[in-house]
A and B are shown apart, each in its own frame.
Chain A
Amino acid sequence: MRLDGVMRLLEARQRLLSQAECEALAARARQAAVGGGKTSVNVDSWWAGALRWGRNRVRLASDRRDVSISVVRAIHEHAAGRASTNQIDDVSLVNLVRAAERDARLFGVRALPEDLPLHAPWFTFPATRIWSDATYDLTAEERGAAARALLEPARAAGMQSAGFLEVRAREWGGFPDGGQPCYARQTLAQCSMTVRDPEETGSGWAGATSFDWRAIDTQALAKRALEKCLASRHPVALEPGRYTVVLEPQAVYDLVVRITWSREEAEHGRGPFVAGADGALGIVRTKLGLKVVDERITISHDPADPELGVMPFTHETGEPVRPVTWVDHGVPTMLSDRREYALTTRTDNLGTPDSRSFRMSGGTTTVDEMVASTKRGLLVTRFSNVNVLDRSTLMATGLTRDGVWLIENGKITKAVKNFRFTESPLFVLNQVEQLGPPVPVFGLPGAPAIVPPLKVRDFSFTSLADAV
């Protein structure tokens, strides 16, 4: 019984631990505990099959996997320790539990709330669509064939292509002592590529992520990256300044994903959602309930959204992910709490989803229609190297990348050199002229986002960046 699960991990075909195997591991770790108290165990295993290419040649094809077991030993309420390993034999497990117990005893102080096992009532996890056999079963041969199809159009056109294709699967099992166990498996597929011209004057990019490999249209990606590259060649330099911009969904995502919704920050008088101090009550008022962006903007997350599949519970802590609406028609209605802060202030706010996974409302104007209605402006593919410079306004800097074009009298007239921008996503969402239909963008693996294109006025480009 004990050998069953772990030996099967050795087999090439089974790359993840099952729920029963994780439970057995948790039970073994608990048996190793000495000194009473509670032993909570998390088990995480993953596999990834990937293929990377550069200069029209596959550079590396790989098959990787790993596992991680972490133990939190709470000997009493005021002493908890944690340790982790990727070895699941008896000796390693015993040593792991001892290490956590040693830390609990040595540092016999108040345990961090995140280390305390949850004593919440039993809950139901949302049903989320996050597993695809097509992703998990995509063989090395099939990955190779996909890459061939991705590479070929660029090479045939005399361009240089570089890219990355990865299918990945993970399971995560959380076994809090006395709490509700949780276990889920998730697949992730991602594909992105960059096509450049040999003279180094143009660069085009396209990318897609999904839990389901079948949702990734490789032909469309290859075509788009190549077209962007060809059209972005020999750009002209334009003066920096304020421009009306048509932001493709990826560019909108690259800005909006910088918005974090931390209540702790706001209540401590920091971050973008501080309305001001209330002297009479001695508290800091947040901007909850105040209109902060255009009323056509709603940003939300629903774990049951078939396009927004995320793990049904929060990482490490295992609370069910709840649907939230961060911004409802321009008004923030919700701020997130990290677990430690939630436990000390409001436990009803546990389980807020990762703010980097969201659905943003849109409209019906297509990118082409936005271009057609623009007298003078710029079309932006995406932003890169974005850094927030000021937390209180979310003023950020970064660069346009992989294609910027000048729009004159409703037509794209020429490719333009890249710009550095100085802009805040909150300002951008206040200067919206038109919104398009939301589509999935290239997000962080496991944190999908559905984002519309936007036409925005007065976007601030502060300097020219002659990098390609």
Chain B
Amino acid sequence: MPISRRDFLKASALVAAIPAGTHPLLARFGRAGDPVPALADPALEELAGRALDAAHSAGATYADVRLTRTMSRIVRPRAVGDQEQLAVGVRALADGYWGFASGPVWSADEMARLGAEAVHEARVNAIGGAAVTELAPAAAVPKGHWVMPVEIDPFAVSPLEIADYLQSLAIFTARIPHAEVWSNQCAFTMQEKVYASTVGSYCTQRTYLSQGELVLQVRKNDRVTRLAVDLLSPAGVGWELYRHQPLHEAIRRTVAEAEEDLSLPVKPVDVGRYDAVFSAPDVANLLHQTLAPATQLDRALGEEANAGGTSYLNRPFEMLGQYQVGASALTVTGNRSERGGCATVQWDDDGVAPEEFTLVKDGVLVDFQTTRESAAWMKDYYAKIGKPVRSHGCASAESAIDAPLQTTPNLVMHPGREALDFDALVSGLEQGIAVKGAQLNMDFQHLNGLGAGGRVYEVKRGKRVAMIAGAGFLFRAPELWKGLRAVGGRASVRRVGMASMKGEPGQQSVASVTAPPTVFAQLTVIDPLRRA
């Protein structure tokens, strides 16, 4: 009889209840019967302590250790794939330099090896003279346990049930005239993490990330279009992503939208400057590709110069409190606490409980994304404005195999006061364009961008009257955001999960971006395929 994941979890839980022996851990390779302990098991605290002790005795002035267990599952209507990974990573500060060591083995001996190795790495690489690495103060978390609140744990649902549900969506779609499913799959990740540091923190948390892809193909009058159902973007939720959202209604709405597109006449690009309405997910993407990376302090100072690049906010300390990044209607905050956010955690990978903070206030740059280390670089500015030096809690890593980086938190662009949505913004436009689903290509300072693909509409007297085939647009980030003419209201905002790469070796992180639809003034519209 096949063993379901539910049985598997149940079995693990049972074995976990057996008192820990001399070899309490499954991950001691080659030994039978040692289960992965539950997150609350004191054996884990003991294990983490081993790593910290080893780093401390080797001479670390600070060290932290993370143990992660990551499960991921991809489900398609007729297939499922499972992956599981255990990892441990120790980070140590010695002589002012960081060292890091990681591996897949959870055992007391391995903790000791990694603790010592991390310090060794730091020591032999102490290049550039004796360095002072200051960490912004952070309160110790003596015993913290947190589980991301999800309604249905996706790993407690049979993958067959999930696959059948995906099938049912395909059947539902096929009953709608002109429509069929083009692609249909979903992915779930659960990560359990133990974090401990030499400042006396010990905390555990479990987080989830769920996402789906449901692309519909609609044919009408010899024309074909493909549109994705928009409710399935990555989020810090469980299987309720599918079960508790009105997907049937969303499918009908998506098909109707596709049919409307197919009934519009198609026009070639008329190059020029136009006022442009952007849909809420497009505004979220613009934020994600401009201000999100540009307000990472390490990037702005040049730490990422050899990887993804630097930032157009390249004089961070002169620009803070002064630099106009956008129109006064632009206010952007960061958080890692919103329910369902992809970057939501209780503690970051520095052991800091993140707080909500403002990056851009009324169009002016007022802060940067920080970790404990980069927050300390901000101390003069914080002293000037009378704020305590405190990390915004933006340290994270994919798993304990990788060292923490500063990554983007969940971002929220504040909506406008008037109750306007995308259609209302379009109706307010005498002449211009409307943009949905554009792909962006940015430069390595996130300054100059090109948008292409997606759907671009011609707008005349408040109505979308045609689709412009192959239209694209060019922009410079500061001018774009300064050209913000109108901002949609509270009910018009959408949240989108956005992935980005950073660092060397590259790591992916995912954050939610919430934004309203907007109108930008005088956007440069081009034919992106046209050579000079």
> Which residues of A come within 8 Å of B, CB atoms?
2-3, 6-7, 9-10, 12, 48, 50-68, 81-92, 95, 98-99, 101-103, 105-107, 109, 112, 140-141, 143-144, 147-148, 151, 155, 160, 162-164, 166, 192-194, 196, 200, 203, 205, 240-242, 384-385, 387, 389-390, 393, 395, 397-399, 401, 418, 420, 422-423, 427, 460-463, 465-468
> Contacts A98-B2, A103-B79; is A7 near B32 (CB within 8 Å)?
no
> Contacts A103-B159, A465-B448; is A60 near B403 (CB within 8 Å)?
yes
Beyond the given A61-B125, A112-B79, A147-B127, please list 14 additional residue pairs across the A-B interface where CB-CB is below 8 A. Answer: A7-B30, A55-B302, A58-B126, A59-B303, A61-B122, A90-B32, A90-B33, A105-B2, A162-B304, A163-B306, A164-B306, A242-B531, A461-B532, A465-B447
> Contacts A54-B304, A84-B84, A164-B504; is A422 near B103 (CB within 8 Å)?
no
B-side contacts of A52, CB under 8 Å: 503-504
The segment from B92-100, B142-150, B202-210, B248-256 found at the interface with A is: B92-100
- Least CB distance, B399 to chain A, in whole angstroms: 9
Query: What are 13 of the A-B contact pairs (CB < 8 Å)?
Result: A58-B127, A61-B97, A64-B101, A66-B85, A83-B81, A89-B31, A91-B33, A102-B4, A387-B439, A390-B529, A422-B532, A460-B531, A462-B532
> Contacts A58-B126, A81-B80, A107-B163; is A399 near B30 (CB within 8 Å)?
no
> Contacts A87-B86, A101-B2, A384-B444; is A61 near B124 (CB within 8 Å)?
yes
B-side contacts of A205, CB under 8 Å: 306
- Least CB distance, B374 to chain A, in whole angstroms: 11
Interface centre among B5, B110, B127 (most CB of A within 10 A): B127
- Least CB distance, B320 to chain A, in whole angstroms: 17
Interface centre among A81, A151, A423 (most CB of B within 10 A): A81
Question: Does the CB pair B84–A89 fall under 8 Å?
Answer: no
Question: Does the CB pair A82–B128 fall under 8 Å?
Answer: no
Tell me, yes or no, whether B87 is within 8 Å of chain A by CB. yes
- Least CB distance, A12 to chain B, in whole angstroms: 6
User: Chain B residue with minimal CB distance to A4?
Assistant: B30
Neighbour of A85 across the interface among B84, B127, B452, B528, CB < 8 A: B84
A-side contacts of B120, CB under 8 Å: 140
B-side contacts of A401, CB under 8 Å: 444
Question: Does the CB pair A192–B444 fall under 8 Å?
Answer: no
Please classify the interface of chain B as helix (H, G, I), strand (E, B), loop, or mixed, using the class held by over half of its residues: loop
Question: Does the CB pair B28–A89 fall under 8 Å?
Answer: yes
Cβ proximity bits B72-95 to A, threshold 8 Å, 1 near / 0 not: 000000111111111101000000
Question: Does the CB pair A420–B80 fall under 8 Å?
Answer: no
B-side contacts of A82, CB under 8 Å: 81
The A/B interface has a contact count, at CB < 8 Å, of 269
Tell me, yes or no, whether B530 is within 8 Å of chain A by CB. yes
B-side contacts of A422, CB under 8 Å: 528-532
Question: Does the CB pair B78–A10 fall under 8 Å?
Answer: no
Q: Which 9 A-B pairs have the closest CB atoms?
A: A54-B303, A460-B531, A102-B2, A61-B125, A6-B29, A467-B445, A164-B504, A62-B100, A162-B305
Measured in the bound complex, the distance between the Cα atoms of B80 and A103 in whole Å is 6
> Contacts A50-B505, A196-B305, A465-B443; is A59 near B78 (CB within 8 Å)?
no
Question: Does the CB pair B82–A144 fall under 8 Å?
Answer: no
Measured in the bound complex, the distance between the Cα atoms of B377 and A55 in whole Å is 13
Tell me, yes or no, whether B482 is within 8 Å of chain A by CB. no
Neighbour of B79 across the interface among A60, A68, A89, A107, CB < 8 A: A107
User: Chain B residue with minimal CB distance to A198?
Assistant: B302
User: Chain B residue with minimal CB distance to A101?
Assistant: B2
B-side contacts of A83, CB under 8 Å: 81-83
Tell me, yes or no, whether B117 is within 8 Å of chain A by CB. yes
